[in-house]
Each structure stands twice: as structure tokens, then as C-alpha cells.
């Protein structure tokens, strides 16, 4: 039996600029709005294109962007080629603030999660010297080319009051001969499933700061966060791989306003020999094996996906009522609390205690999901899966049906009816 305290995780301490090591000597310009970070290892071949794209940024009117409004921090991690020499030559070639940081990390620490954390921390420290307000830390990769208006698109999104942006990532598969038709088919099916699930979420549980049209990515090759929010969540966690996912989780726990922007785009390589585990290269390699063996890809059923979205909406409403409303109705709460708790696999008392003890909705979801992973029968959950093509077909049909409905698809009665049909709905995806 769990205690209510297990459903109330503690807040992470804020990042303190003065506690961070100094990796660069020259301070940023006062006019610097965006600090772009790039962790690289042996990217001599790709680096010129990446820096060229950053050096030739334009604004919404098509005019050259003021090069003094942004800077680039390049962290060369344990390079054995001439990446550093090329970086220095590029800094002389282009009129941008390009700072190259060369590090030689011990083997146990020489992974991309450490490198990206180091350079993002340095960006945060540098921006603190000129005031964190309205400053942005943006991340990309050495094998990635940002779009001509990437920086201006990011600034435009943040000017709407956003805390973080996940930009759109396009893979350059034409330049990767190892990506055959079978791999592409499996990859596109996975993309379609996530894309359709995102559309369903926007219809059933819309967020004003992340409304449709949008996408679903938040990856190191194209992500950005305000310097203030970065410090508030304690910065990027130190993990060996999927450090971008770890930061995304921290942002969600803090209820950061995250925008999945279609306007801020980059193109990245689709190489199957990656520099990090857990990334695109590893996914493509897994899909290559799956394709060769003609294996079936299973995802959770569309019914479960929809139920979780509706459940999150109802849970967010309940959390907001208990935390923010001055006209809390015990009757209105009790009418749905028992059903909501049952759907989550909790008692009504524990659900209310969890809601009251968590300072953010994101932490509430994290706590309940962690509890569910320990208590939900994996065998029963394994039965709630289906073949990905069938799931995509049903998701498309469901989206069309919702759009044609005259009644509000997120009507509380619809939510309650859905919750009555499925019990112990996980707040986490079974197959992603």
C-alpha cells in the first residue's frame, strides 16, 4: 500500500549561475537575445553547412537578421578530427559571435547528455551576466541545418509568452542510402501515429499556448527554452542519452508553456550510425531490423489513447478547481472524484491528497504515472495494443467523426461516459 507522500514529489532546486564553471572568457553582447548551443564530436564534414545556415539568418521580412542579436556556443567534445580548426576558421569567415569550447572529457563522461548539459549551462551562465529576462537558449546539432528564419521564428513564438519551443525536424533521408523503402514505411507509420494522436489531443484537450496546427517533437536538434525557465527547472538533467527528453519532462513537471512550433524548422541527417544512444539513428537501426524481419509494430489501442486524453483533461480541471478556484463546489467535486480516482487506480482520498500536495499539474501527472507503472498489471496492459496501421486508420476515422460532431467532444458527460467504460487508465503511453 502506498502513502500519499509518494504522490507528491519535491521541487527541484533552481540553477544558480554563480555555481557553474566558466567555459568562455568574453561576455555576451548586451543586445544578445538568443544563445544557440551546439554540442559536437567529429562533425568536420557537416559543421560548415550548420554554421553557414546560422550565419545567414533572416527576419520575417526577408532581411538579414542583426548578427548581434544572437550568438553561437560550439562545444567540441573529444574530437579526433579537425572539427575545432574548422570552427575557428568559420568564426573568422562569418560576422557572427561564434565561441568554440574544446573539452576532453573522461571516457565515462564523454556522452552527448554531458556535452549538451555543459554548453546549455554555459549559455545560461552567460545570459545571466546581461539579465535573464527575455533571453532564450536554443539548441541544435552539428549535422543539422536550421531554416533561414529559424531564430526569428523562435523569437516570434517566445514573444507570445511561451516558456519553451520544440521546433519541427525534417530528416534528410535522400542523403542516407541505407534508408530503404521498408525502413521509410515503418518510420512514416510511427510518425503518423504520433501525429494523429497529437491531433486528437488538440481536439479533446486543447491548450491555448499549443493549439493546432502543431507537431509533437521536442528534440535536441531543434529546441529552445527561456533562460528564466531553464534556471527555474534546475537546467538539463545529467543523463547519458535522451537528455532532450529529460529536459522536456522537467519542463512539463513545472507546467511550462511549451509550443510545438511548425514555424521553427531544421533539417537533420538520417544517418543510421549515430553518435548517441536513444536518438534518431538508433531508432532507424531498430526499424531496419524490424523491417527485415517483417515484424509487426504494436501500439496502444485508439480507445485507450482517447481515454487517457479525456482523463487528463478532467484531472487538469479538478486540479485547477482545488488549487485556483475561489468558488470550490464540494458537490461538483464529489460527483466526479470517485469515478476519476477509480479510473486512475487510486482512492478518492489519496487522489485529493495528491492534488493538494503537488504544486503543479505536471508533477501530479508524473507522480500518478509513476505509481501506475508499479501497480497496473502489465499483462492486462499488453492486451490493450493493436497493429499500428489499424490504429492509424481508426484514429483518422475518429478525428473525422469528432470534427463532424455538433456537440462539444469534451463535454463533461462525454468524459464521464468514457471513464465508466475503461478502468485504470494509464497516464503514460504503453508503446512510446
In this structure, of 6-15, 19-28, 77-86, 103-112, the range with the lowest mean pLDDT score is 6-15
pLDDT band at 338 (very low <50, low <70, confident <90, very high): confident
pLDDT digits (tens, 9 = 90+) for 281-305: 555 556 556 555 667 788 899 988 9
Q: How much is the mean pLDDT over the chain?
A: 86
Mean pLDDT of 261-289: 68
User: Is the pLDDT confidence value at 226 over 90?
Assistant: yes
In this predicted structure, the answer to whether residue 9 has a pLDDT above a threshold of 60 is no
Residue 280 pLDDT: 55
Is residue 276 pLDDT above 60, yes or no?
Answer: no
| Residue 384, burial from CB neighbour count under 10 angstroms (0-12, 13-18, 19+) | middle
- Choose among 189, 221, 212, 361: nearest CA to 291: 189
Strand partners, 139: 37, 223
Contacting residues for 284 by C-beta, under 8 A, at least 6 apart? 179, 183, 187, 270, 272
Three-state secondary-structure class, residue 277: coil
Greatest Cα pair distance in the chain: 69
pLDDT at 272: 45
Given this model, what pLDDT does residue 429 score? 77
Would you place residue 4 in the very low, low, confident or very high pLDDT band (cuts 50, 70, 90)? Answer: very low
Alpha-carbon torsion angle 343, 345, 346, 351, nearest 10? -50
User: 322 vs 114, which has greater pLDDT?
Assistant: 114
Q: How many helices (H) and strands (E) does the chain have?
A: 15, 10
> Which cell goes with 412?
463533461
Render 95-129 in DSSP notation, one character per residue.
SSEEEEEEE---GGG-SHHHHHHHHHHHHHHHHHT
The phi-psi region of residue 42 (left if phi > 0; otherwise alpha if psi is between -120 and 50; otherwise beta) is: left
Average pLDDT over residues 348-356: 87
How far is Cα 432 from Cα 189, in angstroms, rounded to an integer? 13
Residue 131 is predicted with a pLDDT of 97
Average pLDDT over residues 339-365: 88
Which value, in Å, is the radius of gyration of the alpha carbons in the chain?
23
Of 136-140, 171-175, 305-309, which range is least confident? 171-175
Residue 1 predicted with pLDDT over 50: no
H helices present in 376-425, as ranges: 378-382, 388-404, 412-421
For the chain, which residues make up each domain, given as ranges? 17-269, 299-421
What DSSP character marks residue 27? P
Distance CA 415, CA 392 (A): 22
CATH of 17-269 among 3.90.1560.10, 3.90.550.10, 3.30.70.260, 3.40.50.300: 3.90.550.10
**Residue 228: which pLDDT band, with cuts at 50, 70 and 90?**
very high
**Average pLDDT in the 210-230 region?**
95
pLDDT tens per residue across span 206-218: 999 999 999 999 9
Highest mean pLDDT among 103-112, 343-352, 374-383, 413-422: 103-112
pLDDT the model gives residue 3 = 46
Q: Give the span between the Cα atoms of 256 and 274, in whole angstroms.
A: 30
- The pTM score is 0.88
pLDDT at 334 over 80: no
pLDDT on residue 410: 55
Amino acid at each position: 500500500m502506498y502513502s500519499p507522500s509518494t504522490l507528491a514529489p519535491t521541487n527541484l532546486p533552481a540553477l544558480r549561475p554563480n555555481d557553474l564553471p566558466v567555459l568562455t572568457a568574453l561576455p555576451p553582447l548586451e543586445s544578445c537575445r538568443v544563445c544557440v548551443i551546439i554540442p559536437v564530436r567529429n562533425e568536420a564534414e557537416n559543421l560548415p553547412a550548420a554554421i553557414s545556415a546560422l550565419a545567414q539568418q533572416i527576419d520575417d521580412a526577408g532581411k538579414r537578421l542583426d548578427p548581434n542579436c544572437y550568438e553561437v556556443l560550439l562545444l567540441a567534445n573529444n574530437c579526433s578530427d579537425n572539427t575545432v580548426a574548422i570552427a575557428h576558421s568559420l568564426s573568422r569567415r562569418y560576422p557572427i559571435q561564434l565561441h568554440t569550447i574544446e573539452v576532453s572529457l573522461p571516457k565515462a563522461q564523454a556522452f552527448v547528455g554531458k556535452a549538451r548539459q555543459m554548453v546549455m549551462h554555459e549559455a545560461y551562465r552567460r545570459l545571466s551576466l546581461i539579465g535573464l529576462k527575455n533571453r532564450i537558449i536554443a539548441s541544435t546539432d552539428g549535422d543539422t541545418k536550421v531554416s533561414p528564419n529559424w531564430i526569428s521564428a523562435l523569437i516570434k513564438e517566445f514573444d507570445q509568452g511561451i516558456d519553451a519551443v520544440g521546433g519541427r525536424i525534417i530528416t534528410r533521408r535522400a542523403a542516407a542510402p541505407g534508408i530503404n523503402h521498408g525502413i521509410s514505411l515503418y518510420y512514416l507509420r510511427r510518425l503518423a501515429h504520433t501525429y494523429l494522436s497529437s491531433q486528437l489531443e488538440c481536439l479533446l484537450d486543447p491548450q491555448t499556448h499549443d493549439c493546432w496546427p502543431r507537431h509533437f517533437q521536442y528534440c535536441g536538434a531543434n529546441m529552445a527554452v527561456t533562460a528564466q525557465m531553464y534556471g527555474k527547472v534546475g537546467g538539463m538533467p545529467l543523463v547519458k542519452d535522451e537528455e532532450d527528453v529529460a529536459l522536456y519532462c522537467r519542463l512539463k513537471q513545472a507546467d511550462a508553456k511549451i509550443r510545438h512550433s511548425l514555424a521553427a524548422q531544421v533539417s537533420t541527417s538520417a544517418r543510421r550510425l549515430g553518435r548517441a544512444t536513444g536518438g534518431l539513428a538508433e531508432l532507424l537501426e531498430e526499424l531496419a531490423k524490424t523491417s527485415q524481419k517483417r515484424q509487426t509494430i504494436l501500439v496502444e489501442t485508439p480507445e485507450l489513447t482517447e481515454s487517457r486524453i479525456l482523463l487528463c483533461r478532467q484531472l487538469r480541471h479538478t486540479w485547477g478547481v482545488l488549487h485556483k478556484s475561489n468558488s470550490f463546489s464540494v458537490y461538483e467535486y464529489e460527483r466526479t472524484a470517485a469515478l476519476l480516482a477509480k479510473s486512475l487506480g487510486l482512492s478518492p482520498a489519496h487522489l485529493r491528497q495528491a492534488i493538494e500536495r503537488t504544486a503543479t499539474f505536471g508533477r501530479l501527472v508524473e507522480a500518478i504515472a509513476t505509481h501506475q507503472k508499479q501497480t497496473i498489471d502489465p499483462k492486462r496492459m499488453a492486451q490493450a495494443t493493436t497493429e499500428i496501421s489499424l490504429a492509424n486508420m481508426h484514429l483518422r476515422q475518429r478525428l473525422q467523426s469528432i470534427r463532424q460532431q455538433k456537440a462539444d467532444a469534451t463535454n463533461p458527460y462525454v468524459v464521464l461516459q468514457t471513464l465508466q467504460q475503461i478502468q485504470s487508465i494509464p497516464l503514460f503511453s504503453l508503446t512510446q
